Amino acid sequence: MLYAVFMSAALPPFPRPQEPVGEPELLQLSAADGPCLRADAARNRARLLEAAARLIAEHGAAGVTMEAVAAAADVGKGTVFRRFGDRTGLLMALLDHSARTLQADFLGGPPPLGPGAPPLERLRAFGVAVLYRSAEQLDLQLAAQPDPARRFVHPSAGALAMHATMLLRQIVPDADCELLAQTLMGYLDPAVIHHLTRQRGMPMRRLESGWIDLVARLTGTGPPR
């Protein structure tokens, strides 16, 4: 691989409710995740997410239903619906937790993904990191995709697009970087990754090389030396 980026397939550990959680700047959390959440409600939420993560590990995303999560967490089904709204909301909450870890890496981690590398190198590393994270959590990514009206306005999706836009403005300041970022994010769409890897049988190494080539062509830069 051009970049040795390791993204664990397992969701990172859930923080205890009493522990301070450093939130990356770009990811705006919903009110349910905010610091004012009561301690008992925060404990219930963490327990529900842990139960959902166990179900995914044991049965895949298809095994995550509101009823199954309630039973695994030993709470009433109504508690799960009140906390997450519906199954998509529950799955998106799981993805949000994983997205915070990735976002912390590209906002404050070591280069080339984090600060300290030239913006072009950071953009290449960013796409590779998102590719592998999506591939390793693909079932969850696909199951959690909301309807089109909610999909692109979700905070975690917006944070990724905003980061790509910021890097593009440093590389090609005279371009419409917001639209260019959307083009790049389309390549990283979980549905596209599913089609190319599972339906077309393409190896991840090819998708990684394709990302590097796409960045070079859209920014008018050459391939990495």
| 118 shares its domain with 42 | no
The 3-state DSSP class for residue 59 equals: helix
Domain count, the chain: 2
Q: Which domain holds residue 185?
A: 86-225
CA angle 32, 36, 39 (to 5 degrees): 90
Do the beta carbons of residue 69 and residue 81 sit within 8 Å? no
Q: Is the pLDDT of residue 17 over 50?
A: no
In 10 A of CB 74, how many CB atoms? 8
User: In this structure, is residue 187 part of a structural domain?
Assistant: yes
| 129 shares its domain with 64 | no
| 64 shares its domain with 174 | no
Cβ neighbours for 143, distance < 8 A, ≥ 6 positions apart? 61, 62, 64, 91
User: In this structure, is residue 129 part of a structural domain?
Assistant: yes
Q: What is the pLDDT of residues 44-71, one digit of tens each?
A: 888 888 888 888 878 888 778 899 999 9
Q: What is the pLDDT of residues 144-180, one digit of tens each?
A: 776 666 667 777 788 899 999 999 999 999 999 999 9
| 42 shares its domain with 108 | no
| 74 shares its domain with 151 | no
Q: Is the pLDDT of residue 103 over 50?
A: yes
| 145 shares its domain with 41 | no
Q: Is the pLDDT of residue 130 over 60?
A: yes
| 49 shares its domain with 92 | no
| 223 shares its domain with 136 | yes
User: In this structure, is residue 80 part of a structural domain?
Assistant: yes
Q: What is the pLDDT of residues 171-209, one digit of tens each?
A: 999 999 999 999 999 999 999 999 999 999 999 999 999
pTM over 0.75: no
